[in-house]
Amino acid sequence: MKFTQAFEITQWDQAAYDEAGSIQLGRATVGKAFTGGELEGTSSAELLMAGTADGPAAYTAMERFSGTLGGRKGSFVMLHGATADQSSSPGRIVAAEGDLAGLTGTVEYVHDEQGARVTVDYELP
């Protein structure tokens, strides 16, 4: 099953952990809320980022969603990331538990003039 849904960023705590030279390495803890669609719940992500004075260069994230997907309760973990020249952030579902055990699929995050949204293409056993 495939769907696209808007979400809200509810937390963004960012700090640098290596500022040597002109490249800065940082991490951020990001919280999101998903309502009004196939996903109902919250997520917490840990991002590792690289950037320069010109702006962001790339990020990778490990994110856990907790709540319901298609009415089934549980949680799942997504691995996603992108470079600054990409218009979206693709990723994969890498683990799941509860009524979502066995969940597989892909995710793609987009942030643009239409807002923040995720497309999930998944299969459940």
Domain boundaries defined on the chain = 2-123
pLDDT at 73: 98
The predicted structure's pLDDT at residue 54: 86
pTM score of the predicted model: 0.93
d(CA 81, CA 86) in angstroms, rounded, equals 10
Contact 43, 70 (CB under 8 A): no
pLDDT in tens, the chain (125 residues): 999 999 999 999 999 999 889 999 999 999 999 999 999 999 999 999 999 888 889 999 999 999 999 999 999 999 999 999 898 999 999 999 999 999 999 999 999 999 999 999 999 99
Order across the sheet with 2-6: list the strands. 2-6, 115-123, 104-112, 89-98, 72-83, 55-69, 39-52, 24-34, 8-18
Q: Name the DSSP letter for residue 15.
A: E
CATH superfamily to which 2-123 belongs? SO1590-like (2.40.350.10)
Torsion sign, CA atoms 61, 89, 28, 42: negative
Q: Exposure of 91 by Cβ count < 10 A (0-12 exposed, 13-18 middle, 19+ buried)?
A: buried
